[in-house]
């Protein structure tokens, strides 16, 4: 027992450094009927990507005969700059200079039958927060889409420039959820626009004690073995991801994150850690899985940190998969993790889905 407590204390101390903690990824969402019970948007694929020259490349797939594209500056806008009409499965290029500078351009895809879909480049192009990006724009397994412009993930926000802050204001950001530990928050406090509510959801907080759901020593040994077997470039991260599921303190943080996103109806939410890839990566995986986004898409979003940070080794897929495996090991499935680990009830999950998914 003494050995177990000592190991737990050492691990908790490591977690406090922020180097061995990262958010995990969840399994399929509950099978209960969604609050969004109407017909799904008739698009099976859609993307918008901004080029370095300021132009945009749009593409989509749908059973429609044709799709009309309009550029808008808000995801809720219905009128804007008409860009053209193309086939139901097609593409459109927006040449540089076609659209004036704006906080962010969204593209409203209107099929000749069925509901429209709004897409956007995920990055806001913030100079001081390269990994700041939208978690919207993904299709779910049941044919809905995660709405853009509601929830963002990011790296630390301590260096936001005045221009970056103004861009966040233009996107109606009203809530910032900080997943970092006390030392990180002290050394690099967030620099936010006036009017943005700040909330802490410390993933490695010891406020709830040094407690684990399963043997800390066993989790440590298995994580090291798995990391060595997979050829992990960072054993600390290989260890940290399963502990994001095993450490009780992390449950409270991710519970608070999901609840904050669900209840912030006054505007957009951003959540972040330091690099925006580990704790934030697991938090994103939890949210997207709750919304019904398929695992392969969740994994692709996780790996995108390598592109946004400019570091091809920023994250490794085996780290995220280790967290999912820990969910299955401790709880048997993702639904049970959500219910018993994160203590999120069905009403909260349904409210989250109703808020964030298209009809």
Q: Write the DSSP string, 274-305.
A: SSSSSHHHHHHHHHHHHTT--HHHHHHHHHTH
Question: How large is the angle between the packed helices 279-290 and 295-303, nearest 10 degrees?
Answer: 150
| φ and ψ of 351, to 5 deg | -65, -40
Question: Mean pLDDT in each 10-residue stretch from start to end of the chain (359 residues)?
Answer: 33 37 37 39 94 96 96 96 97 96 96 95 95 98 97 98 95 98 97 96 93 66 53 61 91 98 98 97 98 98 97 93 95 97 97 95
Helix (H, G, I), strand (E, B) or coil at 348: helix
Residue 38, pLDDT score: 37
Q: Are 26 and 331 in contact (CB under 8 A)?
A: no
Alpha carbon of 293 to those of 25, 135, 143: distances in Å?
Answer: 11, 11, 10
Residue 234, pLDDT score: 57
Residue 251, pLDDT score: 97
* 102 vs 193: CA distance, rounded Å: 18
Residue 213, pLDDT score: 80
Q: What is the dihedral of CA 241, 242, 247, 252, to 10 degrees?
A: 60
Global confidence as pTM: 0.86
Q: Are strands 197-200 and 173-178 parallel, antiparallel or unpaired?
A: parallel
What percent of the chain has pLDDT above 70? 82
Residue 238, pLDDT score: 60
Residue 232, pLDDT score: 58
* 223 vs 226: CA distance, rounded Å: 5
Q: Are strands 268-272 and 173-178 parallel, antiparallel or unpaired?
A: parallel
Residue 240, pLDDT score: 76
Residue 233, pLDDT score: 57
Q: Are 147 and 356 in contact (CB under 8 A)?
A: yes
């Amino acid at each position: 027992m003494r050995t177990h407590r000592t190991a737990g204390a050492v691990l908790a101390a490591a977690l406090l450094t922020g180097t061995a903690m990262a958010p995990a990824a969840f399994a399929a969402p509950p099978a209960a009927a969604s609050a969004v019970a109407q017909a799904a948007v008739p698009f099976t694929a859609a993307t918008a990507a901004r080029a370095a020259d300021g132009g945009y490349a749009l593409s989509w797939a749908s059973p429609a005969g044709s799709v009309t594209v309009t550029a808008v500056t808000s995801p809720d806008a219905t009128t804007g700059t008409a860009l053209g009409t193309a086939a139901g499965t097609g593409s459109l290029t927006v040449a540089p200079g076609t659209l004036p500078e704006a906080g962010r351009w969204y593209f409203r895809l209107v099929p000749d039958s069925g509901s429209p879909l709004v897409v956007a480049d995920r990055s806001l192009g913030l100079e001081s927060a390269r990994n700041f990006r939208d978690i919207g724009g993904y299709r779910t397994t049941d044919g809905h889409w995660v709405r853009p412009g509601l929830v963002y993930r990011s790296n630390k926000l301590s260096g936001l420039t005045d221009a970056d802050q103004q861009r966040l204001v233009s996107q109606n950001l009203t809530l910032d959820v900080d997943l970092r530990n006390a030392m990180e928050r002290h050394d690099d406090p967030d620099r936010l626009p006036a009017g943005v509510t700040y909330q802490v959801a410390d993933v490695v907080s010891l406020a709830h004690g040094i407690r684990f759901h399963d043997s800390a020593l066993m989790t440590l040994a298995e994580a090291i073995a798995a990391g060595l077997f997979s050829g992990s470039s960072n054993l600390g991260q290989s260890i940290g991801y399963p502990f994001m599921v095993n450490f009780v303190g992390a449950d409270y943080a991710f519970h608070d994150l999901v609840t904050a996103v669900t209840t912030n109806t006054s505007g957009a939410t951003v959540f972040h850690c330091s690099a925006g890839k580990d704790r934030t990566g697991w938090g994103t995986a939890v949210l997207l899985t709750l919304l019904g986004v398929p695992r392969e898409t969740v994994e692709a979003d996780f790996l995108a940190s390598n592109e946004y940070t400019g570091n091809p080794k920023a994250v490794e897929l085996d780290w995220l998969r280790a967290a999912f495996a820990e969910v299955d090991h401790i709880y048997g499935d993702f639904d049970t993790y959500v219910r018993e680990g994160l203590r999120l009830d069905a009403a909260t999950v349904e409210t989250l889905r109703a808020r964030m998914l298209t009809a």
